[in-house]
Amino acid sequence: MNLAHVLAQDCVAVITPSNPAAVCQPDAVTLAANSGPGLTYQWQKDGTDIPNATGVTFTASTSGSYTVRVSAPTCTTKTSTPVTVTITPQPAQPTFLVNPNNTQCAGKPVSFSIVSPLPNTSYVWDFGDGRTASGTTVEHTYYSVGTGTVNFTAQVYAVTADGCNSPTRSASISVAQIPAFTPPKDSSNFLVCVPDSQKVIKQTASLLNQTPVPNNISSYVVDFGDGAGPKVFTPSDFTASKSIRNTVPYDTTGAFPITIRAIGANGCDSVYTIDYQVNRKPKAHFTPNKERINPSECVPVKVTVDTDSSSGGNLAYEWQVLNKNGQEAGANDIEYLEQTNNTSKNPIFSFKTIGRFTIKLFVSNSCGKDSTEQSVLIALPEVRMQADSTYCGAPATVKFSGDLVEFDANLGTISSYAWTVSGASGATAVNGTTLQDKAPEIRFPNVGVYTVTVVVKNECGASDEVEQQMATATITINDIPTAPTFSGTSTQICNETAALIRPTGPGVSFNFYSDPAGGTPLKTGRDYTTDTLSASVTYYVSAVTDKGCESATRTPFTVNVTPGITDNTIAVEGTNAQICAGSEPGTITGTAAKEGNATPTYLWQKSTTSETTGFTTVSGVTSQDYAPGALAATTWFRRIARSNFSCNPDTSNVVVVVVSPPIEGNTINVGGGGLSTICEGVTAPEILGTPIAGVTFQWESSNNATDGFTAAPGVNTQQNYSPGILTQTTFFRRRVISSACDQASASVVEIRVTPKLTGNTIEGNQEICATGAAPSPLTGSIPTGGVLAKTYRWESSLTGNSEDFQTAAGTNTGQNYSPGVLTQTTYFRRLVSSGGCDSVVSNIVKITVSATINDNTISATQTSVCQNTSTSFSGSVPTGGSGTLSIQWQKSTTNGSDGFQNIAGATSQNYTPPPTNLNTWYRRLVTSSGNTCPANISNVILISVEPSPVAPTVQSANVTSCAGESVTLRASGTGGVFEWFTTPEGGTPVFIGPEFQTGPLTATTNYYVQAKNTNQCVSVTRTQVKVTVSNAVADAGPDATIIEGQAATLRGSGGATYLWTPATGLSSNTAANPAASPIVTTTYTLQVTDANGCTDTDEVTVNVIGGLKIVNTFSPNGDGINETWDLGNVSNFPEISIEIFNRWGQRIYTSKGYATPWDGTYNGKALPVDTYYYIIRLNQDENPLKGSVTIIK
């Protein structure tokens, strides 16, 4: 086959970029050409070959149009389609200023600003605490709690509009930590409910500091919100047990903000604020007032309420309206006016239907709740009649005037009255009145029951339409009984007795009076028992029916009283009131008794038992006086005066004649005879006397047996006598006295006194150890005194108590004494006696015997411990020794036998040494005080110490989190495992491992991590990580109402930055307090972001009302057009007041509110065509509006 030539195909040339063609420096774009066998490449930029750019790929680092030329022996050279590469220059590294540029307290804002910011460039900030921001000038607040200074690295980089980032610029920010402050505790939990009984409020807060100690707080500045300003307190003033109080008590109800600044040693402060609420228990009360909205129409009716009489403080209000069926009134029944609602303090109701409704008020505050309710009747008239009456005797006339019945026209006019009478017959209106009058007089002529009703009407209806019953009164007319009768008109009684008065009829019961007319009954009943009477009395009695009607007249009844016996008394002469047995007392005299004008008769009675019992009548004695004769026993006498009229006799007083019996058997003895011998200084024995009843004793003494007797010293009037201690021989006798009787004892007794023993002393106090050897002998003196030879007896005791001494062992009757071998401390004394004298006891000698010490062993809870930990030693209870046993613990770091030293303060039975890092040997020494016996040494125990791991390190010691979020804490170190705790010491791990993710946090929390090795030894300290929880709280401020075209300032708070939505009508949607001027009512949502980036939202509504529209002309000419001066939107201004003046300054119109527009008249007369001048005040806050209005016709 012959070919003239062969036409070669074009090479394939295609560029594929490795990334988008637009990149930022220092990044570049890698361009890749298609590959194939035998292909060669030449890269071009803007149509010019690039030297040495012959590879299959090329890296473009500058902007331009790039192509590649592809060649091969098997194809024709081909140039690719151009690819545009854009390399955006990197913006310059920014420089920024920090203000203040020194150490700033945590919680205070720090300002960051870019120096010479570039146009169309934004700046991104990282503050080093997990928070970021953007802008050329930003503020950031660092939070850190502690006692030192922490450093944060703040960084910023620039970002161009193309998205290219500059290199990062960094600066170290030094922040002084604020002190840790725990909110205080108040004794009333910051809420006080003042009782109603406490009229004057005088309340103070009592704050206790809950901040743990020690801390670095140097002072507290507290403003109690009491108007007294801040007060400074020292840490010692404000503790967990010592409270602080406001100096000016809270004297009214309200919420008082208490602000506490805890100032650290570095001058930085933590600020805490809480409201202290003072309230009273709420009491609900209100007063309703009604008025017609249109005076010519029955409904709607506007009802306003005044709740100023409710009390309690900080009240919340809730209203409820019920219809007559007790159901919630609907929109067809009522509505709220003038922007009030069911939670307004003083709502305004519009009742749109006729009927009865119930308005309920509920008030509440932090001290509780209360409610009240009132009934309101809309439109219809109302009758309140309280005229139920009962009358005794017909006829009776009743005038139904204002004290019996009330009529309420209920904002209308009563047009008619309709009275009806039913029941008993014959009732008629009298004295010129009719049953269609407002206050008729009605005569009820017969006995019986009448029912009276009344219905009234106004322009809205009748009074019985809603209640479905008429106002009713019941009039009852009852019969009157006749006066009562008696079987007799009088009765006779004795003095000081009562009479029974019992009428025979008629009547169900009777009233008993002390007066013939008027007065109050003494009693009402079938009969009457009088009081005891001493004079005659006439009573007056009326009859009473079962209906309570009383007879018109009273029947008299007389009670006649017989006088009682008087002047009945007797007496005995004083010297005769007490006599000896067998003597006569003389005559007992009596007064002349009387019984009215008569003289009673007498009889005498006597008793030898008592003044109240055992009386018998003396036979034959009826005289006024009485002579009893000789008496053998004590006797009581009285006289009986007997009535001449069968009334009770009278008994006189009682007199007694005391008769003393004769004295017999007055003998005495001492020791059964007449002589007793005693030692000098010894208490003499008691002298005994025979007992004699009803007498007085007197003991006497003398220094001889025949004369010179005088009253004995001491207690000398008893049956027996104790002379006490005598110094010489003495004689005694006893006298017995019985009223008029007096006798001395027949014999005397002698007590003879001899000299006493003295000088009994011994010696030989010693201290010995229990070695088995006998102590040294004891020596005694030779006593003096006594009358016979002296005898000795040595005694011993193990206690030294006098009651424990017993006869000593061995030869114990000599002047001296040699004890045997002693094994315990023993006490010795010597007794000396001589004749009848008491034995004399010597002083006591003590031989102290020190016993050996036993039972001294020790043990340890563990003998191998971790570094800086400890063990505990238990010691046995040592025994033996003498006196007080003393314990001393010792330790040695040398070995178990040498180098032991006393441990200061370690003197108890058991011992817990402080943590140690060295192997240590321990032992215990026990010694006995008061002797030189050697100490007892316990066994020795070695405590071996295992090393503790190093405390772990944490990724960050201060972490910040928003409320409700969790954080991950990381620890590292050479320990075996890591244990996380919520306390710096003790407790149970909440997590084990190097990375600990907390649960959602709502409050700032401290965590602590420790390392534990395979020997179960933990690090000496735990590493703290503080997680600070930031909780943003947004407050958009109170709702506001503005007139269209005006502005209100929004009061946002609670954040570091603010964002309002929508932005419509705001001067700024990022300011805390922007001006809001919406044209329609708008609800704005505020989102705040605090310094830690945490957010919260709140809402506020700006209500917009239309402005007042004023016209300057109107034509009151009777054509029905523009007849009055109408103002637009006037209903938006309930407080409006208007004044209008003529050209001479005379006020011709004034109004508060503008329900009825001005019709161009003055005093009811039309005003002429002219220009008049107005002053309009919308409310107390707005400036008045002034202008003119012209009347045209």
Local confidence band at 1124 (pLDDT 50, 70, 90 cut-offs):
very high
CA 591 to mean position of chain CA atoms? 77
pLDDT per residue as tens digits for the range 35-46: 888 899 999 999
Contact 311, 282 (CB under 8 A): yes
Q: What are the beta bridge partners of residue 1151? A: 1138
The pLDDT, as a whole number, for residue 5 is 34
Mean of all residue pLDDT scores within the chain: 89
Neighbours of 254 (CB within 10 A): 15
Amino acid, single-letter form, for residue 807: T
Local confidence band at 742 (pLDDT 50, 70, 90 cut-offs):
low
Place of tokens 């590493």: 1023
- Mean pLDDT (whole number) for 28-33: 90
Angstrom distances, CA of residue 303 to CA of 40, 182, 458, 925: 101, 52, 20, 98
The answer for residues whose C-beta is within 8 angstroms of residue 124's C-beta and 6 or more apart is 132, 134, 156, 157, 159
pLDDT per residue as tens digits for the range 462-504: 988 876 568 899 999 998 988 999 988 898 888 888 999 999 8
Torsion of CA 1057, 1061, 1064, 1068, to 10 degrees: 0
- Mean pLDDT (whole number) for 68-73: 92
The pLDDT, as a whole number, for residue 152 is 95
Rounded-to-integer distance, Cα 96 and Cα 116, Å: 9
- Mean pLDDT (whole number) for 157-165: 87
The pLDDT, as a whole number, for residue 788 is 64
Six token digits for residue 255: 């919420």
Contact 89, 164 (CB under 8 A): yes
Quickly list DSSP for 739-791: TTEEEE-S--EEEEEE---B---EE--EEEESSSPPPPPBEE---B--SS--E
pLDDT per residue as tens digits for the range 600-640: 899 999 999 999 999 999 999 999 999 998 888 899 999 99
SS3 1131: helix
DSSP category for residue 802: G
Whether the model clears a pTM of 0.85, i.e. scores above it, the answer is: no
The pLDDT, as a whole number, for residue 468 is 59
Rounded-to-integer distance, Cα 72 and Cα 12, Å: 10
Angle CA 307–347–312, to nearest 5: 30
**Exposed / middle / buried, residue 46 (Cβ in 10 Å: 0-12, 13-18, 19+):** exposed
pLDDT per residue as tens digits for the range 400-440: 998 899 999 999 999 999 999 999 899 999 999 999 999 99
Angstrom distances, CA of residue 498 to CA of 493, 494, 534, 564, 644: 7, 8, 9, 14, 20
Backbone phi and psi for residue 328, each to the nearest 5 degrees, phi listed first: -60, 125
For residue 2, pLDDT over 50 is answered with no
- Residue bearing the bigger pLDDT, 176 or 198: 176
Local confidence band at 1 (pLDDT 50, 70, 90 cut-offs):
very low
pLDDT per residue as tens digits for the range 1125-1165: 999 998 889 999 999 998 888 899 999 999 899 999 999 89
SS3 397: strand
The pLDDT, as a whole number, for residue 7 is 39
The pLDDT, as a whole number, for residue 976 is 80
The pLDDT, as a whole number, for residue 739 is 67
pLDDT per residue as tens digits for the range 117-127: 999 899 999 99
Set out the domains of the chain in order of their start, with CATH numbers.
Answer: 15-88 (2.60.40.10), 96-176 (2.60.40.10), 185-280 (2.60.40.10), 287-378 (2.60.40.10), 382-478 (2.60.40.10), 490-562 (2.60.40), 565-660 (2.60.40.10), 668-754 (2.60.40.10), 762-850 (2.60.40.10), 853-946 (2.60.40.10), 953-1030 (2.60.40.10), 1040-1105 (2.60.40.10), 1113-1191 (2.60.40)
The H or E element spanning position 1009 is strand 1005-1012
How would you label 618-632 residue by residue, b for 16+ Cβ within 10 Å and e otherwise? eeebeeeebebeebe
CA 1177 to mean position of chain CA atoms? 51
The pLDDT, as a whole number, for residue 740 is 63
The pLDDT, as a whole number, for residue 206 is 92
Local confidence band at 303 (pLDDT 50, 70, 90 cut-offs):
very high
Q: Percent of the chain, pLDDT > 70? A: 97
The pLDDT, as a whole number, for residue 21 is 55
The answer for residues whose C-beta is within 8 angstroms of residue 811's C-beta and 6 or more apart is 817, 818
Closest CA to 542 of 505, 507, 502, 511: 511
SS3 110: strand
Strands, E assignment, 239-300: 244-245, 254-264, 269-280, 287-292
SS3 289: strand
Rounded-to-integer distance, Cα 621 and Cα 603, Å: 6
For residue 3, pLDDT over 50 is answered with no
